[in-house]
């Protein structure tokens, strides 16, 4: 398939999803985010672009070197077929979609790529991408608990800093790194404010709030922050809605445009998505990066600690993720959890039993949905989502 076809197909697919969301939404300030989503794979930045997989890469280092981080985790069914020329059929669709983007030359403007070794899919993708582009691999420890793991991760962060400086030809100064951390912390606080408003029934759809988080990964940060402030201001002028729909938390594999079927099915079935712990959503964005003193060393420690605590299922044991989910269930008064598992994702799939068991102890029902990026299973998913929402309704 020619490059232009995949980019054009992706744009059309995103346009279709956004049109549905625009029709269901209705908030004036959301228009900016709908428009950004439609253009999220256009490179209109003058700064060198650094492609990033995952929530574990400290984007502040890229920003401090004058670069712009862009998330390259793919959510497009149309690029999967392209990558199946080199990757097996039974493989995570996120990886296949991203590799498909590269094989279609869609991301040729990237200066470099950073890939953490969180799962086998990412490791193998990194090898393939390294043939085409400067690719830095970050070795992720298996645990977050031991002192050795923390030391290894700090070494990886320092190595990444050097690699970024070399590739972008810019020194990361103490002042610039501080500026970048303070900036992303402002972003995190804005998102937390949005989620706090949702907690108290602010009149914004959960799928819209997810989109706001999703667009923050590729947008110009100043512009994103100023429009998020406008959105918060608009919401604060509105009355919270009295809403007795089941309050839902989404967890599991990332949900990436244009594959938005899960949030839309939940909302069509009258579920109220209040919270998520998705890597494409709130996962690392709701807490700020804590820095003891603004020395280079302490800033790197602050970054290392923050990104290692991302509660990714690649860690063992993974108590922080389970704990986080249970805390959110209480704090956001959740009635039911929807667990999204991308086919081929062994990490999320392998933790289902544990999350389900802990939720059962709290008497919180959970629905596991295993799916990929195609539309072929939508009818079947709809039946299960409808039944789950009905059950939550009848539990009230
Ligand atoms: S769950 Fe882990 S591997 Fe998957 S996107 Fe998040 S940080 Fe990356
Ligand atoms: S969804 Fe699972 S398999 Fe896919 S990239 Fe993320 S952690 Fe890896």
How does strand 135-138 pair with strand 272-276?
A: unpaired
CB of residue 345 inside a 6 A radius of ligand 2: yes
Tokens of 153: 């991760």
The residue whose C-alpha atom lies closest to atom 3 belonging to ligand 1 is 118
Pick the range with the lowest mean pLDDT from 2-6, 134-138, 348-352: 2-6
Nearest by Cα to 388 from 273, 243, 269, 277: 269
Reported as a single tens digit per residue, the pLDDT across 2-23 is: 445 888 999 999 999 999 999 9
Q: Any residues with CB less than 8 A from the CB of 304 and at least 6 apart, and which?
A: 150, 153, 154, 157
| pLDDT over 90 (residue 157) | yes
Q: Which residue shows structure tokens 């253009």?
A: 39
The residue whose C-alpha atom lies closest to atom 8 belonging to ligand 2 is 119
- In the structure, what pLDDT confidence band is assigned to residue 1 with cuts at 50, 70 and 90? very low
Question: At what angle are helices 261-268 and 206-215 packed, to 10 degrees?
Answer: 160
Counting ligand 1 atoms within 8 A of each CB, the residue from 51, 52, 53, 56 with the most, and so the one to mutate, is 56
Q: What is the pLDDT of residue 285?
A: 77
Q: Any residues with CB less than 8 A from the CB of 373 and at least 6 apart, and which?
A: 75, 76, 77, 80, 93, 97, 259
CB of residue 96 inside a 6 A radius of ligand 2: no
Bridge partners for 304 per DSSP: none
Q: What is the pLDDT of residue 74?
A: 94
C-alpha of 19 from chain center: 21
CB of residue 94 inside a 6 A radius of ligand 2: yes
Nearest by Cα to 74 from 48, 93, 46: 93
Which alpha helices (DSSP H) does the chain contain, by range? 3-24, 30-38, 59-64, 80-83, 93-103, 120-130, 147-168, 174-199, 206-215, 221-236, 261-268, 296-308, 319-331, 346-361, 378-395
Nearest by Cα to 203 from 339, 363, 29, 33: 29
Compute the Cα dihedral for 164, 168, 173, 174 and give only its sign: negative
pTM summary value: 0.95
359-369: average pLDDT: 97
The residue whose C-alpha atom lies closest to atom 4 belonging to ligand 1 is 54
392 C-alpha to ligand 2 centroid (Å): 29
119 C-alpha to ligand 2 centroid (Å): 6
How does strand 110-116 pair with strand 49-52?
A: parallel
Reported as a single tens digit per residue, the pLDDT across 328-345 is: 999 999 999 999 999 999
Reported as a single tens digit per residue, the pLDDT across 280-317 is: 998 877 889 999 999 999 999 999 999 998 788 999 99
- In the structure, what pLDDT confidence band is assigned to residue 362 with cuts at 50, 70 and 90? very high
CB of residue 99 inside a 6 A radius of ligand 2: no
Reported as a single tens digit per residue, the pLDDT across 64-74 is: 999 999 999 99
| pLDDT over 80 (residue 63) | yes
| pLDDT over 80 (residue 42) | no
Contact 254, 279 (CB under 8 A): yes
Average pLDDT, the chain: 94
Counting ligand 2 atoms within 8 A of each CB, the residue from 74, 256, 345, 372 with the most, and so the one to mutate, is 345
234-256: average pLDDT: 94
């Amino acid at each position: 398939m020619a490059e232009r076809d995949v980019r054009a197909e992706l744009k059309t697919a995103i346009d279709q999803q956004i049109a549905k969301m625009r029709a269901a939404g209705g908030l004036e300030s959301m228009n900016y985010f709908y428009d950004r989503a439609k253009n999220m794979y256009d490179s209109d930045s003058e700064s060198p672009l650094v492609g990033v997989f995952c929530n574990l890469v400290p984007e502040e280092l890229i920003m401090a070197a004058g670069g712009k981080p862009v998330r390259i985790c793919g959510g497009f069914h149309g690029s999967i077929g392209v990558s199946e020329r080199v990757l097996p059929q039974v493989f995570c669709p996120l990886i296949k979609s991203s590799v498909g983007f590269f094989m279609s030359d869609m991301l040729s403007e990237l200066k470099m790529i950073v890939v953490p070794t969180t799962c086998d899919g990412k490791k193998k993708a990194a090898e393939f991408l390294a043939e085409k582009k400067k690719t830095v691999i970050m070795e992720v420890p298996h645990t977050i608990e031991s002192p050795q793991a923390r030391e290894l991760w700090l070494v990886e962060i320092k190595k990444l800093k050097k690699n970024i400086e070399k590739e972008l030809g810019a020194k990361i100064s103490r002042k610039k790194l501080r500026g970048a951390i303070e900036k992303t912390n402002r972003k995190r606080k804005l998102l937390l404010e949005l989620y706090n408003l949702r907690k108290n029934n602010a009149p914004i759809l959960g799928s819209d709030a997810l989109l706001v988080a999703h667009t923050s990964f590729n947008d110009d940060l100043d512009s994103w922050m100023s429009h998020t402030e406008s959105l918060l201001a608009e919401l604060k002028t509105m009355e919270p809605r009295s809403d007795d729909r089941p309050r839902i938390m989404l967890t599991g594999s990332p949900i990436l445009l244009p594959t938005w079927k899960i949030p839309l099915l939940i909302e069509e079935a009258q579920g109220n998505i209040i919270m998520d712990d998705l890597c494409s959503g709130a996962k690392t964005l709701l807490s700020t990066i804590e820095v003891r003193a603004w020395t280079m060393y302490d800033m790197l420690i602050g970054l290392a600690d923050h990104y290692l605590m991302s509660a990714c299922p690649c860690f063992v044991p993974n108590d922080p993720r389970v704990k986080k989910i249970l805390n959110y269930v209480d704090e956001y008064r959740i009635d039911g959890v929807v667990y999204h598992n991308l086919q081929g994702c062994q990490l999320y799939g392998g933790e289902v039993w544990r999350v389900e068991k802990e939720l059962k102890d709290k008497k919180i029902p959970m629905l596991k949905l295993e799916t990929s990026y195609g539309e072929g299973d939508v009818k079947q998913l709809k039946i299960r989502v409808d039944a789950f929402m009905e059950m939550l309704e009848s539990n009230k």
